[in-house]
């Protein structure tokens, strides 16, 4: 009987949404890196967010996808969404977007399955470090 209870409990817990790995609140980042392009939001959006995360209807953050309630369908919507929930201006190490894009091989890596290039990630880090200006 005990074995059945353990098996049943294991099966029920296996699909729980809270069982996947969660990102840490903060990480250590090096903002003295080499950016791929000047770290402005227009450049981050045009060169990284739009083509990598929001370009097509199948993308996680397209107008159709909106994973996590975040859309990169246009520059203003992307900026507003990031500043409302995912970016802490001036603090890249404690910005969820930076934590997720700086964590290859984790369940919470963004974008999933490949991550950003070091230069693109650096541009993002430096934009957030500068206060995430529009």
pLDDT tens-place string over residues 49-100? 888 776 665 567 656 666 777 878 889 989 999 998 899 999 999 999 999 9
Write the pLDDT tens digit of every residue in 110-134: 888 778 899 999 999 999 999 999 9
Q: Which two tokens stand for residue 45?
A: 């959006």
Q: Which structural domain, as residue segments, surrounds residue 71?
A: 38-134
pLDDT band at 8 (very low <50, low <70, confident <90, very high): very low
- Residue 74 is classified by DSSP as S
Domain annotation covers residue 14: no
Domain annotation covers residue 12: no
Domain annotation covers residue 89: yes
Please check the confidence at residue 7 and state whether its pLDDT lies above 80. no
Residue bearing tokens 């995430």: 132
pLDDT band at 9 (very low <50, low <70, confident <90, very high): very low
Q: Which residue has the higher pLDDT, 1 or 106?
A: 106
The pTM for the full model equals: 0.79
Q: Which two tokens stand for residue 72?
A: 């990169």
Domain annotation covers residue 58: yes
Query: What is the structure's pLDDT at 21?
Result: 82
Domain annotation covers residue 98: yes
Q: Which two tokens stand for residue 51?
A: 């083509």
* Number of structural domains the chain divides into: 1
Residue 88, by phi and psi: left (phi above 0), alpha (psi -120 to 50) or beta? beta
Domain annotation covers residue 6: no
Query: What is the structure's pLDDT at 132?
Result: 97
The alpha-helical segments, DSSP class H, found in the chain are 2-14, 41-44, 50-53, 75-81, 96-101, 118-129
């Amino acid at each position: 009987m005990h074995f059945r209870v353990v098996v049943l409990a294991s099966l029920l817990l296996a699909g729980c949404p809270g069982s996947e790995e969660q990102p840490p609140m903060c990480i250590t980042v090096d903002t003295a890196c080499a950016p791929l392009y000047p770290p402005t939001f227009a450049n981050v959006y045009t060169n990284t967010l739009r083509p990598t995360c929001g370009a097509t209807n199948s993308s996680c953050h397209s107008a159709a996808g909106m994973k996590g309630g975040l859309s990169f369908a246009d520059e203003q919507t992307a900026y507003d969404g990031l500043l409302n929930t995912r970016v802490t201006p001036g603090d890249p190490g404690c910005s969820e977007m930076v934590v997720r894009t700086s964590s290859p091989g984790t369940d919470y890596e963004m974008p999933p399955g490949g991550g950003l290039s070091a230069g693109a990630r650096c541009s993002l880090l430096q934009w957030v470090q500068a206060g995430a200006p529009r």
